[in-house]
Amino acid sequence: MNIEEIKIEIRHLTMAYGSHVVMRDVNARIKRGSIFIIMGESGAGKSTLLRNMIGLQHPADGDVLYDGRSFWGLDEEARRVELRKFGVLFQSGALWSSMTLAENVGLPLAEYTDWPPTDRQEVVRLKLALVGLDGFEDYYPAELSGGMRKRAGLARAMALDPEILFFDEPSAGLDPILSRNLDRLILELRDSLGATIVVVSHELASIFTIADDSILLDAESRTVRAQGNPKELRDYSTDPKVRAFLTRGEISERGATP
The smaller minimum CB distance to other proteins, of residues 92 and 229, is found at: 92
What string of H, E and C letters represents the secondary structure of the chain? CCHHHEEEEEEEEEEEECCEEEEEEEEEEEECCCEEEEEECCCCCHHHHHHHHCCCCCCCEEEEEECCEECCCCCHHHHHHHHCCEEEECCCCCCCCCCCHHHHHHHHHHHHCCCCHHHHHHHHHHHHHHCCCCCCCCCCHHHCCHHHHHHHHHHHHCCCCCCEEEEECCCCCCCHHHHHHHHHHHHHHHHHHCCEEEEECCCHHHHHHHCCEEEEEECCCCEEEEECCHHHHHHHCCCHHHHHHHCCCHHHHHHHCC
Quote the least distance from Cβ 33 to other proteins, whole Å.
Answer: 11
Number of residues that bind other proteins (CB under 8 A): 35
The smaller minimum CB distance to other proteins, of residues 64 and 186, is found at: 186
The smaller minimum CB distance to other proteins, of residues 188 and 239, is found at: 188
Show the binding pattern over residues 20-59: x = contacts other proteins (CB under 8 A), - = does not: ----------------------------------------
68: contact with other proteins by CB under 8 A: no
175: contact with other proteins by CB under 8 A: no
The smaller minimum CB distance to other proteins, of residues 61 and 161, is found at: 161
Residues of this chain, 74-133, that bind other proteins according to CB under 8 A: 96-98, 114-116, 118-119, 122-123, 125-133
64: contact with other proteins by CB under 8 A: no
Q: Which residues bind other proteins (CB under 8 A)?
A: 96-98, 114-116, 118-119, 122-123, 125-136, 138-142, 158, 161, 185, 188, 191-194
